[in-house]
Each structure stands twice: as C-alpha cells, then as structure tokens.
Structure 1
Amino acid sequence: MVYESAIELSMDLLGDMKTIGVPKSRHCGRLDGKGTIGRRDRDLTREKWRMAHTYILHNEDEVAPYVERHMSFLRRLIRKANPKAIAAEHNKSFGIWFQNEVMKEF
C-alpha cells in the first residue's frame, strides 16, 4: 500500500519529464505510415472519382461479364456510333448501369 502511494506520487511529479535512455529514432513515424510533413488529404472531383471507380471495376475479374454486356447494350442502343463514342459512353454510364444490374439480381 505504501509502495503504491509512493509510485503514484512519483508518477504525478515526474509525469511530464522526458526520460533518458535509448534515444527515439528519427525515423519514428515515417515507418508507421506517417509522412514527414504530415498527412495530406485530397478531395477528388466527382469526375475524377468516377474515373477511378470505373478503372477499379474494369480490373476485377467478376465484373468482366458485365462490361461485355454493357458494351453490347450500348452497341444495340447507339447503332450509328463509332467505337470511340461507344467507349466514351461506356465509361460515363457503366457505374450506374452496373449498380442497377447487380441490384436486379438480388
């Protein structure tokens, strides 16, 4: 009981003091994923977010059949459009179309 009181008193008195011993690494923080300047948050525009989302979806094997179905759908819908115009429309509308198709399946 006396020891506990002595330790509590010592901790209160020495709580803010810097301890001596092994020095803190100058790399501490950077190795934990923190930058030297600090964390930088970036806000993506709606268009850039959509482009990133589309890119990620197109690189998933499970989504590949949906990509082909959407391209076929667009070719039937826009018969006179060239492949570049169909690709542009696909990139613009695939996310919403994909979401709707997946929701229909459930």
Structure 2
Amino acid sequence: MLVVNRFRAGEDPDGLRADLERVHRLLAEQTGYVDGWVGRNVDDPGLWTLTTRWANVGAYRRALSSYDLKLHGVPVLSRAIDEPGAYEVVEPGGMLNVAESRVT
C-alpha cells in the first residue's frame, strides 16, 4: 500500500521540512512500514510530499493510532492538502482492490 500526503509549504518551508522528517521517522518505527521519503516538487518548490509504503492498509491505520503519532504526527498530517492519499500498488496482471464493505 502506498500513501501520498501533499503539503503546501507556505511561509515556512524549513519548518515544514523538519516537521515532515520527524513524522517520517515516527512512521518508520511502526510495524508494517516498508519504506518512505520526504519529497519536494521540482517545478513548484512550495509543494512537498510525504510518501510511505506499507505492508497493508491495516498496518498504516494501526501506525496512525500509536501514541507518538497521535501526539506529533497527526497535527502535521492534518495540514496535508485535502485529497485521497492511499493507493494500492498495481502489479502487472494482478488483482485490483474491490470497492465493497469489509465489515463481517
């Protein structure tokens, strides 16, 4: 699973960078984290991203509920541009996610 959160730097790009690096470190400590990075758009340097890969959607959701992420991560992540950010990784010829209720 791939998570892409995009941010506008506004007046404090150095502060945003530090915040994103801290959140990335916190996420990287969580079970199910695969890899990730902080990025900046080459054409619009005010546009930043925090991109992470996870073993599955459950691992990502559990990571967000950890104490440190609730305390330090959620305030930063809540500043992301309001758009869907969770993606499935599409493998050649692989099955795609089906939009249906997962409650049993």
Using the size of structure 1 for normalisation, the TM-score is 0.27
Tell which structure's C-alpha radius of gyration is larger.
1
Structure with more relative contact order (C-alpha pairs < 8 Å, separation 6 or more): 2
Using the size of structure 2 for normalisation, the TM-score is 0.27
More strand by share: 2
